[in-house]
A and B are shown apart, each in its own frame.
Chain A
């Protein structure tokens, strides 16, 4: 039976090529959409974990890092550092801004740091050395054609780009400045008179003694400092990922569902055309006494062979698309090879494709062996 299906597939290579392209494109669409979703969750997770803290203190009641306003009283830093087991509580301030240049606007998350919590890597240029330096995500540099040493205005205050990093999350590029820069920004820029409500301390990255018990220290800090909650980086990252799932889940789910239906229809169309063109063959087989179940299995094996041909093409196309999107807009990360998502997508695509193979079965079941004797 496999031999028969294989022969059928080999009969018309151009047709198989077209099918592989079509089915491969569907697989690529699904992989890219799911890879985009997975990339978003990965970025949300990494942006917290990259801060390299043992524990993170947030404003009491704040459970996320992204898309929230956390404001901690500055005096609480000393209180946290006085708890046993704490070496240092490094301050981090998050300032969301809308970067505008040539009427093109981009929301940017500016992270202000002191000694810890800065850019996780510098892909070009150097880290911050003075107050006016800023390190920006490469996506911003690409979008606005910003070079090292160029001016970068944050609410009318001029920074100089000293380096590029690769940190973005929630479709937002990140930028990094130090506290000298933030004070200059607040004092020298237009916003200075109204800065009373700007958060000057958003989070604290807590560094523990190597022997300290993390859970115990977290409890001690929460007991001693009422204005903060203390979580592990993994917990904070998990909260952000869950928030991301609420945000992206319905949209991605809908688009992927439509893509699966297309895959089903493409296979259905291919198999239907194939069965129609070989109806006489099927009729002969029926006349020779082949059971219907055998013919059904033959169709499924053929569909499976088509899938086997299409999957590598789909994966290749998805990789190319992912590369293109990431190159054109580095703020996105398309993680198509994340094992669970990759296997899930391929299995689901295959499942829907095999359902599509059911479409022509009615034609086979109704084929009359007598048509063999009809003139063409």
Chain B
């Protein structure tokens, strides 16, 4: 019986492949949704994740970086720097704003760096150099590619023009493009003086980050000090909560779509082979065996589609950003495993209609002309 199930599928390679492709693309859409969401969420924490101080210090009431606003007096940085167990304190200024690069206006995060604060700057450069003079900016290489704003070109932040002196890597995404400018220039844009946004605190060897964070929170008034891990967790949670509802809904509807394609394929197959099935029933093969055979068919079609989707996810999606550099796509093993579970549900739900038809099929159909 199982051999029959397999053979009747294999005899229709065109239908099988078309169905599998339909299912695969429904799964691929689910993977794309998840990959975009994962990619953007990961990219949101790219800057803090790569800068990686032991402790982040910010204004009280603030506990993350993405879309946040924080200001801390400069004397607090000095006070923290003098605390035992603190190796160094690197202050940064930080601003969310719209930038103008070429003809493109886009949302970006701008980090203001003090002259001796290279540890808070870009962690990977693809061209150019670090900031040395006022009015300079380091932009993501992808932004340069997209807008045509290259080395030596001008870029505008608010009403101030900057000259591009370096191109950084790993600093671009739709939701989180990071630019670096001199501290003083960003201070001018913010009309601020004597304040920082975040303090990056490196601890001495052997000092526990959690203990140091607690100590800073206790000894420096009106600041919030978090370990790097806690800070990243907060930022990632904020990013991943945004758009979650859309992702869930789209996953559901694409899964339903895949189930419908499975059901359609299995139904077409059953309808085409109903005389054969009737003969099998007339020969005394029991219903449960026929039921499992029909289930096997839907399982195989779904598995075929799932495998195509996984191969696509692993070998094609990583190259999509070459065509659409604005996107950061991350396919995680977790999401593929989740998709596997979805595929199982799809296979079972897609089998409901055809198995129902098979079980109700009258053996007398075999003798109809």
Interface residues of A (CB under 8 A from B): 12, 14-15, 18-19, 21-22, 25-26, 28-29, 32-33, 36, 59-64, 67-69, 71, 95-98, 100, 103-107, 155-156, 171-172, 189-191, 193-198, 239, 242-243, 246-248, 250-251, 253-255, 258-259, 261-262, 265-266, 268-270, 272-273, 276-277, 317, 321, 324-325, 328-329, 332, 359, 363
Contacts and interface: CB of A to CB of B under 8 A. Distances in A.
B25 A261 contact: yes
Q: Which 4 A-B pairs have the closest CB atoms?
A: A61-B159, A155-B61, A197-B192, A190-B60
Interface stretch (B81-89, B93-101, B205-213): B93-101
A332 to B, nearest CB: 7
Given A193-B222, A247-B107, A247-B175, A269 B261 contact: yes
Contacts of A197: 71, 190-193, 195
A63 B98 contact: yes
A104 B21 CA distance: 39
B284 interface: no
Contacts of B18: 265, 268-269, 272-273, 359
Interface residues of B, number: 78
Nearest to A329: B245
B147 to A, nearest CB: 10
Interface string B182-205: 000000001111110000000000
Interface of A: prevailing SS: helix
A291 B14 CA distance: 24
Contacts of A22: 22, 257, 260-261, 264
Interface stretch (B48-56, B163-171, B248-256, B332-340): B248-256
A196 B193 CA distance: 8
Contacts of B254: 29
Nearest to B327: A250
A266 B32 contact: no
Interface string B2-37: 000000000010110011011001101100110010
A32 B249 contact: yes
16 contacts: A62-B158, A67-B97, A68-B98, A71-B191, A95-B69, A98-B67, A103-B237, A105-B237, A197-B195, A254-B320, A258-B32, A262-B22, A262-B26, A272-B14, A273-B15, A273-B268
Given A18-B267, A265-B25, A269-B264, A105 B234 contact: yes
B62 interface: yes
Interface of B: 12, 14-15, 18-19, 21-22, 25-26, 28-29, 32-33, 36, 59-64, 66-69, 71-73, 95-98, 100, 104-107, 156, 158-160, 174-175, 190-195, 221-222, 234, 237-238, 241-243, 245-246, 249-250, 253-254, 256-257, 260-261, 263-265, 267-268, 271-272, 320, 324, 326-327, 353
Nearest to A195: B71
A32 B176 CA distance: 25
A130 B260 CA distance: 56
A96 B192 contact: no
B146 to A, nearest CB: 9
A171 B64 contact: no
Contacts of A60: 158-159
A190 B60 CA distance: 6
A198 B72 CA distance: 11
A278 B264 CA distance: 17
Nearest to A64: B98
Which residue, of B26, B250, B254, B257, has the highest number of chain A Cβ atoms within 10 A? B257
A69 B271 contact: no
Nearest to A362: B14
Contacts of B175: 247
Nearest to B269: A273
A255 B105 contact: no
Contacts of A247: 106-107, 174-175
B324 A262 contact: no
A265 B61 contact: no
A242 B62 CA distance: 30
Given A107-B67, A171-B242, A198-B71, A255 B33 contact: yes
Considering residues A25, A28, A67, A321, which has the most beta carbons from chain B within 10 angstroms of its beta carbon? A25
Nearest to A318: B253
A61 B260 contact: no
A95 B327 CA distance: 29
A298 to B, nearest CB: 19
Contacts of B73: 193-194
Contacts of A251: 36, 174, 326-327
A266 B22 contact: yes
